[in-house]
């Protein structure tokens, strides 16, 4: 996992553009503190020159310092910041050159690179390194763009295809590794984080006021390709593009991205016993290949179902495969806040499954500097302080020498873990006339949650009423996303939309920024595409059954203590946000004075966290009335 930067300019590079590029690359030192690489390419002649910087491995030969490079000889530059995870030697250096003179910059991991390597060897490929980057290069050389469907992992990739004189850009199936781009009439720039674009002196980043207003009003972030800036767009997940520098035209990226992967819901007939067996095999293999690393790794430890499932299965793998890594858990705790602190559940797990444990205390570590640093790294404002708890957890990982952290991200969106999944499923039962099944399920769920059935029934009936009024045109939403969300009737579609629009994209971007802030790689076993496809093939009665959500996970993980496997409450990184804000009231209210004029709001209310975080975002990005980007 690393950071990349790419600049193509149809009319050749200037010295200033090259200096801006290097400044942009340095903006993401946190993503790759172990090595830095830059190569300049002439897309017409194929000539190239490797640049040496202060952070480049000393063993990289045939490289030149900036003073000895004529920028006008080149029109494409690839930059890379490396976080060494696989093959820690200098042979894993990027940009990496292939045997056909192609070049690659790659952010992410291809977990099945060992199996792919063996396939490619049969086809004549030869390898000089132990890295997965070289496997990607050879896979593209031999299989072409079809190689993308063979990768199991997370990635953002840019390849200069030398034989065909074209630039290939692609993103992983689910957008785990975000990639952004900015186009002008004669250039395009690719970055891992939008803050990199602020370093280009020839660009004026203009605030996306529509996007900002949607955040303030609805909390919408990462719902589509838009960012906080106009024309700074997120590359579509599961897509690729092939660019010809000779025929480059403005907006060719936005208009010509091609989809190579499409996730859909398809229910198959499967009995519970077989489903349990398949789930366990898939989760086992997903974690096993994600343990491929030459550095230490740890596991999120919350006492919740998803992270515990990963932790216990990891214990099985370490024992079965005779892997020598120590089992390490990291948890976030809030002593003194009984409603949200998970210390007791963490203790249940650690008493049952001894592992070295590190705890993160976000309340103690919160201050203005840390909060603003967090906002800076996120690139966008925040929904709440829970993201700071996650940020602080990765800080704890770094302090204890852990370079990879496994988590349970994706389980809720695939196996129906959110409360609204249950409500929407119940609403659909009523629409389909399954009244007896509905009342039975509501009663079971209410008993589990310790609430009255009548309260649950009221929630579902209100959802049904809203669905009917929307259909009849009685209720009209002024936003297409809200209208679409409320019109969804089936659990199947709700899960898919949470996965690709409403929930997961935001969580993935936030997790990427939080982890990379501290040069820690996050890995998501539940987002192995084979496990995701399996989850989306299951009938609903294996997702929600007997009042339990994520039923199949609970049924499958028999190793877990019953109080964890059938834990009735659901918590994420819940924080005592109101206490936090009141404790630092002056600090938070100070953020309200930062440039809300751009929204036409002089003194925004402090009724929710959105205004505070947006004000903090304005502050750390140094926006002022005099800033031309606000005009």
The predicted pLDDT at position 602 comes to 55
Rg (Cα) of the chain, in Å, rounded?
Answer: 25
Two tokens, residue 584: 């630092």
pLDDT category at 466 given cuts 50, 70, 90 is: confident
Report the C-alpha gap between 495 and 424 in whole angstroms: 10
pLDDT category at 470 given cuts 50, 70, 90 is: confident
Residue 105 scores a pLDDT above 50: yes
Residue 628 scores a pLDDT above 70: no
CB 318 within 8 A of CB 298: no
Cα dihedral 224/226/227/230 (nearest 10)? -170
Of 103 and 217, the one with more pLDDT: 103
Mean pLDDT is lowest, of 159-163, 481-485, 577-581, 605-609, for 605-609
CB 108 within 8 A of CB 176: yes
CB 188 within 8 A of CB 181: yes
The domain limits of the chain are: 3-200+231-259, 272-414+503-577, 419-498, 589-630
CB 139 within 8 A of CB 150: yes
pLDDT category at 607 given cuts 50, 70, 90 is: low
H/E element, 21: helix 15-26
Output phi, psi for 104, to 5 deg.
-140, 140
Average pLDDT on 24-50 reads 97
Average pLDDT on 508-525 reads 98
- Which residue, chain included where needed, has tokens 């948890």? 331
The predicted pLDDT at position 630 comes to 36
Region 272-414+503-577: CATH code: 3.40.50.620
The predicted pLDDT at position 599 comes to 66
The predicted pLDDT at position 440 comes to 97
Share of the chain above pLDDT 70, in %: 97
Average pLDDT on 259-273 reads 91
Share of the chain above pLDDT 90, in %: 80
- Report CA torsion sign: 515, 520, 525, 527: positive
Q: Could you tell me the CA-to-CA distances from 303 to 35, 142, 220, 346 in Å, in that order?
A: 37, 45, 29, 5
Residue by residue, DSSP assigns 535-562 as: HTTS-GGGTSBTTBSSHHHHHH-TTS-H
Report whether CATH 3.60.20.10 matches the domain 3-200+231-259.
yes
Strand-pair category, 404-406 with 356-360: unpaired
Share the mean pLDDT of the chain: 93
The predicted pLDDT at position 493 comes to 95
Reduce the DSSP state of residue 4 to 3 states and report it: strand
The predicted pLDDT at position 600 comes to 62
- Which residue, chain included where needed, has tokens 């390419």? 41
Strand-pair category, 48-51 with 35-41: antiparallel
pLDDT category at 603 given cuts 50, 70, 90 is: low
Report the C-alpha gap between 363 and 125 in whole angstroms: 53
The predicted pLDDT at position 233 comes to 97
């Amino acid at each position: 996992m690393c950071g990349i930067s790419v600049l193509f300019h149809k009319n050749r590079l200037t010295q200033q553009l090259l200096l801006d590029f290097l400044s942009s690359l340095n903006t993401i030192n946190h993503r790759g503190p172990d090595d830095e690489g830059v190569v300049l390419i002439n897309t017409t002649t194929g000539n190239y020159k490797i640049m040496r910087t202060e952070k480049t491995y000393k063993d990289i030969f045939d490289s030149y310092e900036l003073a000895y490079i004529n920028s006008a000889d080149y029109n494409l530059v690839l930059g890379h910041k490396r976080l060494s995870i696989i093959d820690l030697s200098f042979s894993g250096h990027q940009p990496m050159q292939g045997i056909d003179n192609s070049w690659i910059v790659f952010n992410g991991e291809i977990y099945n690179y060992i199996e792919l390597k063996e396939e490619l060897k049969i086809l004549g490929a030869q390898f000089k390194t132990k890295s997965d980057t070289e496997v990607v290069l050879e896979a593209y050389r031999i299989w072409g763009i079809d190689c993308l469907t063979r990768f199991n992992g997370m990635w953002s990739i840019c390849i200069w295809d030398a034989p065909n004189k074209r630039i290939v850009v692609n993103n992983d199936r689910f957008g785990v590794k975000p990639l952004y781009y900015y186009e002008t009439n004669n250039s395009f720039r690719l970055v891992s984080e939008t803050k990199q674009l602020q370093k280009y002196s020839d660009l004026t980043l203009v605030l996306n006021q529509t996007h900002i207003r949607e955040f303030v009003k609805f909390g919408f972030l990462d719902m589509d390709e838009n960012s906080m800036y106009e024309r700074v767009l997120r590359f579509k997940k599961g897509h690729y593009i092939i660019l010809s520098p000779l025929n480059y035209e403005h907006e060719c990226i936005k208009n010509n991205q091609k989809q190579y992967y499409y996730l859909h819901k398809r229910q198959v007939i499967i009995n519970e016993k077989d489903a349990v067996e398949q789930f366990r095999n898939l989760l086992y293999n997903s974690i096993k290949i994600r343990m491929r690393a030459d550095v230490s790794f740890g596991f999120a430890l919350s006492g919740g179902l998803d992270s515990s499932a990963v932790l216990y299965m990891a214990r099985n793998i370490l024992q079965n495969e005779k892997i020598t890594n120590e089992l390490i858990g990291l948890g976030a705790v809030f002593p003194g806040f009984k409603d949200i602190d998970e210390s007791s559940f963490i203790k249940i797990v650690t008493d049952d499954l001894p592992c070295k444990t590190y705890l993160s205390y976000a309340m103690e570590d919160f201050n203005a500097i840390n909060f603003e640093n967090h906002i800076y790294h996120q690139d966008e404002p925040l929904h709440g302080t829970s993201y700071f708890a996650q940020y602080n957890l990765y800080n704890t990982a770094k302090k204890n020498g852990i370079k990879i952290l496994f988590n349970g991200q994706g389980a809720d969106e695939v196996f129906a873990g959110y409360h609204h999944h249950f409500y929407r499923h119940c609403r659909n039962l009523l629409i389909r006339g399954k009244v007896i099944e509905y009342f039975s399920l509501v009663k079971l769920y209410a008993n589990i949650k310790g609430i009255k059935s009548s309260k649950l029934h009221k929630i579902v009936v209100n959802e049904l009423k809203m669905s009917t009024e929307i259909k009849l045109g009685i209720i009209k939403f002024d936003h297409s996303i809200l209208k679409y969300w409320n019109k969804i009737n089936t659990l199947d579609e709700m899960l898919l939309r949470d996965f690709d629009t409403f929930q997961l994209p935001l969580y993935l971007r936030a997790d990427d920024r939080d982890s990379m802030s501290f040069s820690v790689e996050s890995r998501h076993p539940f987002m192995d595409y084979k496990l995701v496809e399996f989850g989306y093939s299951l009938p609903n009665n294996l997702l929600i059954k007997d009042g339990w959500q994520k039923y199949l996970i609970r049924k499958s993980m028999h190793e877990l203590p019953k109080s964890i496997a059938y834990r009735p409450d659901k918590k994420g990184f819940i924080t005592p946000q109101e206490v936090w804000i009141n404790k630092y009231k002056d600090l938070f209210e100070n953020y309200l004075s930062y440039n809300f004029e751009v929204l036409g709001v002089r003194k925004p209310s402090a009724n929710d966290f959105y205004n505070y975080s947006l004000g903090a975002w304005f502050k750390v990005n140094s926006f002022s009335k005099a800033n031309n980007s606000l005009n």
